[in-house]
Amino acid sequence: MCRERFSSVVKPIDESTPVVTTDVVVIGFGAAGACAAITAREQGADVIALDRANGGGATALSGGIIYAGAGTSVQAAAGVEDTVEQMMAYLRLEVGDAVSEETLEKFVRTSPEMIQWLSDQGVPFDSSLCPYKTSFPNNSYYLYFSGSENSGAYRRRTPPVQRGHRVKGKGTSGKQLYKPLAKSAQNKGVQLLPHTMATELIQDESGRVTGVVARTMQYAPARIRRLYTAACAVSAKPGIYYPPLRKQMERYRASLEERYARPIRVMARRGVVIGAGGFIANTDWVNEFAPQYANGLPLGTSGDDGSGIALGQSVGAIAERMDNVSAWRFITPPSAFIGSIVVDAKGRRIIDESRYGAALGQAIVRNHDAKAWILADADLMSEARRNLIKQTLWFQRAQVSALMTLDSVRGKSLRDVAEAAGIDAEGLIATVEAHNDAIDSGTEDPVGKPAELTRRAVRAPFTLLNISVRPSVINPTPMLTLGGVRVDENSSAVLDESGDPIPGLYAAGRTAIGVCSDSYVSGLSIADCVFSGRRAGRHAAQQASDLADSWPDRESA
């Protein structure tokens, strides 16, 4: 277990170990943890939050998208009409049975209030509406179609509505979400202990979780703390893009921890909330639970190693959907590629190309041996190159340009390009003919793509761009895990094997099963972090405990 590795460098606990007492302890300080901490303070509880790095977690590295609708203030300002019924109709298809109908409806109905609450914490939004379909808009647009709303199967259920609320800020704007939340938490009196990693949950004789054993760098010399802070920052970014650098920084952090980390106990009068992320950074767990996804780019920090899940399991929690990983294989921008066809090694269509990139990634990995190519004719390639100028951020432009030039093949005919790519030529020819014939005859597209999004593939040269899921510097596949511990959907209380709450323990975000644990679209994970984090913080703070009278007031850490 990863927890055993973590605890191996912690100095033994004895009478000299500092003991800090509070009402609610939050483990992990990304979106879920920050929202839990703020909400617990709003309920009048004293809160200490622990974070093994500098705070922010995967949220601060993300695109800063929040999936929200049913008539948010941002939608209203953009002139976008949305209803609870429309949002429910769409999300039922995405969420599946990950949560109950009642929980999904609560998530949808409170969606406008969630955006308002985030705005009240200082999170900036903008109603600039993106006019084209993309996986992530450039810095001119902040409200867009962030899922599969435009796709054929979904349009037949409900009109497409823009619900991807991108936090306003240049580039990947997750940091613009985290910073206001962290500032709001601090202003409300949350005490954050960075560089402090929970290693064990404390239980009383009844089995109630009453605190956390952690190791902290808080007592290290100031110079060492500065070095540790810098190592955490580099490990997070650019370490997320260059795994060898992250490994180097993690080795350096471990060496500092071995020498300077000290144990600490943080006792909770009311409850402990775990919001420590998923396990995509834990290679052993990915290989064990989801080996098909071993070739992805871990989307998160080194702290997304399952340690929060393992903490819950150590006191009886049950983990579910651990084989469910979201693999992102985006083909937009450029938006022109929505008109392409995506094929496998046998030349067969894989999916409606207007579907969200995680749906495409899942289909490639699970149903097509992880191999896929975008087929585009000369006209489509020309349009795609023009799209690159106006539709992309710098990293998108660099990635797509590299894909076009270094990981693609061209041919004067479909047979030539298929042979150059090493895929079945007869299969590709048959697929393109069926695709073109459907357009010419006005019949439904073979994979259900809406007619207005289809494009005939007729003019040579033809290009096949390799979007297979494999280790790749040019075109890596970002991935995150969706499984976690089972929780009560009314309170976020962690459940044991019998389905009973483990007293005093709550979980939120990707540590727990939530709204996005079956299927992911951009913004649904952070939205669930906010939703479940606030729920966990509220219920943890409301728990009465006879310990409140017997324990001392909170000490300074």
Calculate ∠ Cα 519-155-174, nearest 5°.
45
Nearest to 505, CA basis, from 461, 455, 540, 557? 540
Going by the DSSP 8-state scheme, the letter that residue 129 receives in this structure is B
Q: Which residues pair with 298 in a beta bridge?
A: 479
Give residue 12's pLDDT. Answer: 47
Which tokens in the block code for residue 451? 């007619």
Which pair of tokens denotes residue 391? 């539709």
**508 HSE (CA, 13 A, CB side):** 35
- Dmax of the chain from CA atoms? 82
CA 344 – CA 424 distance, rounded (Å):
9
Per-residue pLDDT of the chain (557 residues; tens, 9 = 90+): 333 333 323 344 566 789 999 999 999 999 999 999 999 999 999 999 999 999 999 999 999 999 999 999 999 999 999 999 999 999 999 999 999 999 999 999 999 999 999 999 999 999 999 999 999 999 999 999 999 999 998 988 899 999 999 999 999 999 999 999 999 999 999 999 999 999 999 999 999 999 999 999 999 999 999 999 999 999 999 999 999 999 999 999 999 999 999 999 999 999 999 999 999 999 999 999 999 999 999 999 999 999 999 999 999 999 999 999 999 999 999 999 999 999 999 999 999 999 999 999 999 999 999 999 999 999 999 999 999 999 999 999 999 999 999 999 999 999 999 999 999 999 999 999 999 999 999 999 999 999 999 999 999 999 999 999 999 888 999 999 999 999 999 999 999 999 999 999 999 999 999 999 999 999 999 999 999 999 999 999 998 654 444 444 444 44
Residue at 221: amino acid letter: P
Q: Are 50 and 296 in contact (CB under 8 A)?
A: no
Which residues are within 8 A (CB) of 399 and not within 5 positions of it... i.e. 6 or more apart? 474, 475
Pick the CATH number of 329-466 from 3.30.2290.10, 3.30.1370.60, 3.90.700.10, 3.30.2080.10: 3.90.700.10
DSSP-derived letter for residue 511 is G
Token pair, residue 312, equals 């819950």
Residue with tokens 């109709």: 89
Provide the residue type at 74 as one letter.
V
Q: Domain 2-62+176-326+478-550 - what CATH class?
A: alpha beta
pLDDT recorded at residue 553: 47
Domain locations along the chain: 2-62+176-326+478-550, 65-166, 329-466
Q: Alpha-carbon distance 75 to 409, whole Å?
A: 42
* Structure-token match 């922010």, residue found: 56
Output the pLDDT for position 544. 67
Contact 272, 25 (CB under 8 A): yes
* C-beta separation of 44 from 193 below 8 A: no
Place of tokens 């000369």: 378
DSSP state of 369: T
